[in-house]
Amino acid sequence: MRVLGIETSCDDTAVCLLQAEGSFGSDPDANVGAGFKFRILGNALSSQATLHAQYGGVFPNVAKREHLKNLPILLQQVQKETAGVKPDVIAVTLGPGLEPCLWTGITFVQKLAEELRVPIVAVNHLEGHIIMSMMNIKESQEHSSILQNTRMMGTIAEFEFPILALLISGGNTQLVLSKEPLQYEAVGKTRDDAAGEAFDKVARMMELPYPGGPHIAALAKQAREENLSADIKLPRPMLNEDNLDFSFSGLKSAVLRFIESQHQGPSLKNSPRTVLGAEVKMQLAREFEEAVADVLVGKTLRAVEEYGASTVVTGGGVSANTFIRKRLTDALAEAGAKLLVCPPEFSTDNAVMIALAGYFHALKKEFAEPTTLTASGNLTLDSG
């Protein structure tokens, strides 16, 4: 089956065509992905990060405008890569995300599906991240019957249910339990800011560019390399509470209080100059990153023990953070569990994950009625 994936949930416009075969498997005790494989035939993405940097975050109406401009360009690029091969189904992100952005993808797909006379699968963006992180991806030197060049291909990693998914991005931080394929139960979520949102807001306080996560990570890495111990002490919110929920708003506020305490002269809001020196910035970045990692690792280990999961998958932009990945990998190995995480280039929003999720639902003939498709900015994962 050939699946065209369309992703426009936030500020990345993405289009992908992949070919897949095999099933997820229905026996929880069997090798989950036996017989499943896929190949990416064409893949295109346009990031708006530079454009939104001037706002310090994503400006929805600007993002919508860029999606409208980029979608036909990216589709044409993928069609050129794939010699105009027609998809059997189109998968589009339904939510969660910014509704003006989601609508651009939905309306684009409604028209395209009618032109191509193919069905539509509505995909939960969060499920896309989970399924993407279950994949083993590698370069393929095999010649496709359609394309005669190297393409990415993949299979499902080996694991047994139940599994836990840790979703960490700018819009979501949650722990999701899955006892069988395509069935989910959220067992922990953030009560305020998501982890990625906290990274971006703290970076803005530190006068670092948007998106803030990579800049904080780079400063934190430099602090460790230079052995700059963090004399700054930040809280680990909700780490010791008897639940699996998260909260990063208090951590963000603690950073602000520290920065204000370092400021000399006029009030912080009215001062255009940099408040923190280079070494203090590195120390603060290190302590903040380690505080977030402590909370994510601590909550994940508690969930692993509570639900008896031997595998954790993690996805979302923050999962590309090298320090957090290593902390999770080491802690889970010590607990007798393993971490599945996709390559960093597929951790952030992309159309490959939407096409993969769409494929598995298309196998079950879970097609959407095109005229009733509605963007759902607050869409959740559940067992329904």
Please give the average per-residue pLDDT across 103-129, as a whole number: 97
Say whether pLDDT at 252 is over 90: yes
Report the CATH number of the 2-159+345-372 domain.
3.30.420.40
- Tell me if residue 205 falls in helix, strand or coil: helix
Q: For the whole model, what pTM was predicted?
A: 0.91
Measured CA distances, 225 to 11, 284, 292, 324 (Å): 33, 15, 19, 16
Nearest CA-CA partner of 174 in 185, 186, 184: 186
Worst-scoring range by mean pLDDT, 24-38, 88-102, 264-278? 264-278
Predicted local confidence at residue 272, as pLDDT: 41
Q: Where are the beta strands (DSSP E) in 96-221?
A: 120-124, 135-140, 151-156, 163-168, 173-178, 185-189
Worst-scoring range by mean pLDDT, 210-214, 274-278, 311-315? 274-278
Domain with CATH 3.30.420.40 in the chain: 2-159+345-372, 163-341
Predicted local confidence at residue 316, as pLDDT: 93
Predicted local confidence at residue 138, as pLDDT: 82
Please give the average per-residue pLDDT across 368-379, as a whole number: 94
CATH architecture under which domain 163-341 falls: 2-Layer Sandwich (3.30)
Predicted local confidence at residue 147, as pLDDT: 39
Q: What is the DSSP letter of 89?
A: E
